[in-house]
Structure 1
Amino acid sequence: MLTELSIKNFAIIDNVHISFSKGFNVLTGETGAGKSILINAIEMVLGGRAAKEYVRRGKEKAIIEAIFQIENPNKINKILEEYGIKSEPDNTLLLTREIFSTGRSTSRINGRTVTLTMLNNLTKYLVDIHGQHEHQSLLTWENHINFIDLLGGNKVFKLKKNIKYYYNELKKYRNKLNSLTENEMERERQIDLLKFQIEEIDNAQLEENEEDELMNEYNILSNAEEIMKTIGDITEKLNSTDFYEKSLIDELNNILTNLQKISEHDSKLENYSNIVESIIFQLQDLSRELRLYIDTIEYDPERLELVNERIDLINKLKRKYGNSIKDILKYRDKIYKELQILENSKEEIQKINKEIKKNEDKLSKLCNELTKERRIIGNNIEKNITEELKKLNMKDIKFKVKYDKYDYFTENGLDKIEFYISPNPGEPLKPLSKIASGGEMSRIMLAFKSILAEVDEIPCLIFDEIDTGISGKTAQIVGRKISKLSKTRQIICITHLPQIASISESHFYIDKIVSNGRTMTKIQKLDYDGRIKEISRLLGGYNLTTSTKKYAEEMIKNLKNI
């Protein structure tokens, strides 16, 4: 249950802290005092869509914190474990939401920053908020099927999951079939294009490593004259044949001879002789290698032109099919498979049609099973909703679930489901969305909440003005129904009716005050005298009379133990 709520700098709320109790909590106050803003703050901390307009003017950010006491922690702790968040030993859960004036927001669970998706995955098991938007969900017939399915439990959930899987498979194969059959001319054009591309690549006879080899050969051929001249000059200097000019090796031989002579005087010089001798041998080897290399170099304009053409061809193919020869060959393999599929499209179409038939048969079976389950649930809902509505002072109500079918598969099955009612004797059944009044819609939604509460196990229900359009005896009955719900879960209810407020176990008064020229919301928990005063106001305004006060006392006395 929700035990603590702290709100700071949120809309007209400056700084409030509320400690909720088990059972039935009620909030009352003047219109515009901030009751709905309080619900908005709770929605935000649970993962609702934030907006910068929520931040109090002149403040950097709004902060909402909520502390929950988890009575059945297994499901919540499992989610926390998946998120890598440590659960508290006392089974408390801290949620924090910060909304900045820039529109950005952050969310935390037990101090750990999480995404909104993670937050919503957790909080859907903590709180169920019923507001005016849920009235609208009942007014839209397409939503009625969801109310049926919510009562279907795990069996309906598994059926819907399987239906969605096979529906997506069916959709996939139908799209494949359409792409193969929708345009025969386009198919032929595509075949011609792929054949041309494959032929162009195959004719090139590409090899993965040839580009590097070609570039190396091109560099040698295009610079052959410079290479031969430079190497010729080097070998000439190493081994000059000019009688009047000594080569580098000749000079080194003279140096070696002189070193060897003086080594007789100092044996240490022998090492230098050895070094020079080694250099001479290396230069002789170098000279031989260069002469052999130069014999392999030949300026060949025809070969250079062929290499250049080959490089141009590869670059052309790279511009069309990939950034490298490897990519080109990979692309070739890919389009070859596409060509095979297109050329063998008749066989492929037969295979696809078999898959379509298989998925349609599977879907048909699953959808029929789901329809049977929904009809069983629908029959129970008709009975249970009628009973609940009679308890809520709609004694002559007739409630019916009408069934129809789509003539095509959807990911939700084949069923069309719509709720019909006849609120008064002698009136025919008509669509709920067309004839229900505000008061009737509030009670119908409360009836659904009462039934769903038996299966959803959500520990906290919040009602934002569930009493719209009702008064008098009906309001008293609605109050008793909410009070009954509060025996098994926490209820937080915003109301303007004394019949509902008087039944609560904890009563909070929301007031709007002006301080230093700024409007702000103030929330206080009422004691017995405060409750008498507030219920008297709800009964007859601010001009309290003895009779009004006495009636308020009687309401609390007579209804608090319902």
Structure 2
Amino acid sequence: MLVELSIKDFAIIDNININFTQGLNVITGETGSGKSIIIEALGMILGSRTSKDFIRTGCDKSVLEGVFYIEDISILKQTLDELSIDIDQDNLLIITKEICANGPSLSKINGKTMNLTMLKTITTKLVDIFGQHEHQSLLDINNHQLLVDTFGDKDFASLKSKIRELYNELQEEQKKIRSLSMDTSERDREIDILRFQIEEIDEANLSEDDEYNIEAEFRKLSNISKISQSVDLAISHLNRDEYDFQGAINLVNKSLTLISGAKEFDDKLEEFYNRLSDLNFELQDISRELNYYLNNIDIDLDRLNYLHERIDLVNKLKRKYGNNIDLILKFRHEAEERLNKLLNFEKEYEKSLKKIKELEDKLEKHSSSLSGMRRKIAKILEEKVKTELSQLNMSNVDFKVDFKRTSQFTPQGFDKIEFLISTNPGEELKSLSKIVSGGEMSRIMLAFKSILAYLDKIPTLIFDEIDTGISGRTGQIVGEKIYNISKNHQVICISHLPQIAALADSHFVINKVSKSNRTITEITKLSHEERVEEMARLLGGVNLTKTTLKHASEMIEMSKKIKK
């Protein structure tokens, strides 16, 4: 659950810390006080799009932080291990988001930097934010099938995965047959090109070691004069004894003579004498071998020209077929495979057609099974939604999950699902977008969430003004629904309804105040007395009266009985 939320230098928030509790946490406040900013900040912590516009005027960055207690670590253990995130014995995850004015945003989990994809693999398992944009998602019929599928079991998920695999295979096979489906002239033209490319590479007679060996030999032959001069000078330095310049061998011999005369007086010099003697033999051997090397150097201009042409040929092939010989040979192999397919066009075409037919038959069978499972789920869902809506003061609603078949297979089978609703007796079923009001949409969304709450393992649910467009008795029922959800989840609810606020386990109020000629947002966890006053404000406006205070107190007491 979300234990603590810290927001610093964000929009009109200077620095606030909110300590949430288990159960139902309700946040109330005047319109424009900053309730939506709290949700924006939390959304950015969880991985939603950030904006530098939210950085408080005059500040370099905004710092947002959420501290989460993970009661069941097994849900996240594999993901945490894959991302190398350490978690202490208190099972706390600290997620930090820095929004910088002069640089990219930075996200961290327990001190480890995360990119957006990595962050969301964690946060989607921690929090589900449920606000006005979810209303729009329910109006999008593309999401209706996803909602139905949410109620599927492991066998359902396994079958759906199998269909996705078959669909991907079908796509590949259809792509293959499209590449074979060309007119005769186009096919002949490609055959000619492929043959030319293969022959050009074969004529070069390339091997994997060619590139290194050819360049090494070319480098040697093109520098033969420099090599000869260097070797000749090295031999001279080893041997010559002229113009009072003594060679290395002569100098070593003189050193041997000197040590030979001295070693009879000190046994330690024997080792040095032996080493100098070995060095003398080694230098003479090197001198002989260098002389042999120099006398046998062959300046083969024909070979040099051949190597030059060979390098030009390899470079030409590189420009056409790949950056190195390995890639050129790989290109040749793939070209040969493609050529064989084109030469055996009819055989390959028939083979692909047969494969497509087999895949389509399997998809038909599995999609039909999946559709049957969906229809069973839909029947149960229809009854549950109608029951939930009835409890939400929409007793005459008829709700139906409508099935149509898509013209082609999709990765999810062949079902096209749409939710239809009739809010009044005698009216025909229509699309949600055509008939529901804002208040009705809020209740429909809450109905779905109430049903999903028992399947959902996400520990924290956030309701952002889901009570839009409702009041009175309906508001009371919505509040009780949200409270029931909070028995199995931590719930944080932004609300303007006293009926919901009265059921809170923890009640916070947001106020906009002026300090040092600047507007800032403050949030306070209310005591019992403060809560009564806030409830009275929600009931009756700014001017508190004995009547509204009494009514507020009675609502809180009544809610305690409901919660029991």
* TM-score range for the pair, normalised by the shorter chain length: 0.7 to 0.9
Match of 1:523 in 2: 523
Give, in whole Å, the separation in 2 of the partners of 1:276 and 1:38: 86
TM-score for the superposition, normalised by structure 1: 0.83
How far off its partner does 1:218 sit? 11
Instruction: Tell me, yes or no, if the aligned pair for 2:214 and 2:307 is still in contact at 8 Å.
Output: no
The aligned amino acid for 1:504 is: A
Give, in whole Å, the separation in 1 of the partners of 2:282 and 2:123: 84
Match of 2:349 in 1: 349
Match of 1:507 in 2: 507
TM-score for the superposition, normalised by structure 2: 0.83
Instruction: Tell me, yes or no, if the aligned pair for 1:505 and 1:560 is still in contact at 8 Å.
Output: no
Match of 1:453 in 2: 453
How far off its partner does 1:283 sit? 9.2
Bigger shift: residues 303-312 or 495-504: 303-312
Distance 1:222 1:475, change over 3 A: closer
1:561 is paired with a residue of what secondary structure?
Answer: helix
- Percent identical pairs in the alignment equals 49
Matched, 1:10 2:29: no
Distance 1:209 1:407, change over 3 A: closer
Give, in whole Å, the separation in 2 of the partners of 1:76 and 1:307: 62
1:454 is paired with a residue of what secondary structure?
Answer: coil
Match of 2:363 in 1: 363
How far off its partner does 1:29 sit? 0.6
Matched, 1:65 2:65: yes
Instruction: Tell me, yes or no, if the aligned pair for 1:218 and 1:308 is still in contact at 8 Å.
Output: no
Match of 2:387 in 1: 387
Match of 1:33 in 2: 33
Match of 2:419 in 1: 419
Give, in whole Å, the separation in 1 of the partners of 2:289 and 2:500: 109
Match of 2:121 in 1: 121
Give, in whole Å, the separation in 2 of the partners of 1:493 and 1:323: 60
Q: Superposed, which structure 2 residues align to 1:203-214 within 5 Å?
A: 203-205=203-205
Match of 2:99 in 1: 99
How far off its partner does 1:197 sit? 2.5
How far off its partner does 1:214 sit? 10
Give, in whole Å, the separation in 2 of the partners of 1:139 and 1:286: 88
Match of 1:406 in 2: 406
Give, in whole Å, the separation in 1 of the partners of 2:285 and 2:427: 120
Q: Deviations over 1:397-454 (max 9, x none)?
A: 1111111110201112211111111111121111112101101000000000000001
Distance 1:214 1:459, change over 3 A: closer
Match of 1:242 in 2: none
Instruction: Tell me, yes or no, if the aligned pair for 1:77 and 1:87 is still in contact at 8 Å.
Output: no
Matched, 1:333 2:333: yes
The aligned amino acid for 2:190 is: Q
Match of 1:235 in 2: none
How far off its partner does 1:331 sit? 3.8
How far off its partner does 1:174 sit? 0.6
Give, in whole Å, the separation in 2 of the partners of 1:108 and 1:221: 58
Q: Deviations over 1:476-529 (max 9, x none)?
A: 111111122222222211111112212212111100011122211010111122
Match of 1:538 in 2: 538
Give, in whole Å, the separation in 1 of the partners of 2:494 and 2:424: 29
How far off its partner does 1:314 sit? 5.6
Instruction: Tell me, yes or no, if the aligned pair for 1:465 and 1:496 is still in contact at 8 Å.
Output: yes
Distance 1:508 1:299, change over 3 A: closer
Bigger shift: residues 403-412 or 330-339: 330-339
Give, in whole Å, the separation in 2 of the partners of 1:23 and 1:474: 21
Distance 1:321 1:457, change over 3 A: closer
Distance 1:170 1:540, change over 3 A: same
The aligned amino acid for 1:364 is: E
Give, in whole Å, the separation in 2 of the partners of 1:524 and 1:214: 77
Give, in whole Å, the separation in 2 of the partners of 1:33 and 1:359: 58
The aligned amino acid for 1:359 is: L
Distance 1:414 1:534, change over 3 A: same
Give, in whole Å, the separation in 2 of the partners of 1:550 and 1:113: 52
Bigger shift: residues 307-316 or 346-355: 307-316
- Report the aligned-residue RMSD: 3.9
2:428 is paired with a residue of what secondary structure?
Answer: coil
| Matched length | 530
Bigger shift: residues 481-490 or 414-423: 481-490
Give, in whole Å, the separation in 1 of the partners of 2:422 and 2:113: 50
Give, in whole Å, the separation in 2 of the partners of 1:306 and 1:480: 90
Match of 1:554 in 2: 554
1:21 is paired with a residue of what secondary structure?
Answer: coil
Q: Give the unaligned 5+ runs of structure 2.
A: 232-241, 243-249, 263-272, 274-278
2:455 is paired with a residue of what secondary structure?
Answer: helix
Give, in whole Å, the separation in 1 of the partners of 2:482 and 2:221: 93
The aligned amino acid for 1:525 is: K
Distance 1:331 1:171, change over 3 A: closer
Instruction: Tell me, yes or no, if the aligned pair for 1:10 and 1:56 is still in contact at 8 Å.
Output: yes
Match of 1:145 in 2: 145
1:456 is paired with a residue of what secondary structure?
Answer: coil
Match of 1:83 in 2: 83
How far off its partner does 1:290 sit? 7.3
Give, in whole Å, the separation in 2 of the partners of 1:485 and 1:417: 27
Give, in whole Å, the separation in 2 of the partners of 1:192 and 1:119: 52
How far off its partner does 1:278 sit? 12
Match of 1:375 in 2: 375
Q: Deviations over 1:339-385 (max 9, x none)?
A: 12221222222222232222222222221121111111110110001
Give, in whole Å, the separation in 2 of the partners of 1:485 and 1:227: 87
Match of 1:251 in 2: none
Q: Deviations over 1:10-60 (max 9, x none)?
A: 111111111112211111111110001111111122222212112211112
Distance 1:401 1:287, change over 3 A: closer
2:554 is paired with a residue of what secondary structure?
Answer: helix
Distance 1:155 1:102, change over 3 A: farther
Give, in whole Å, the separation in 2 of the partners of 1:78 and 1:556: 43
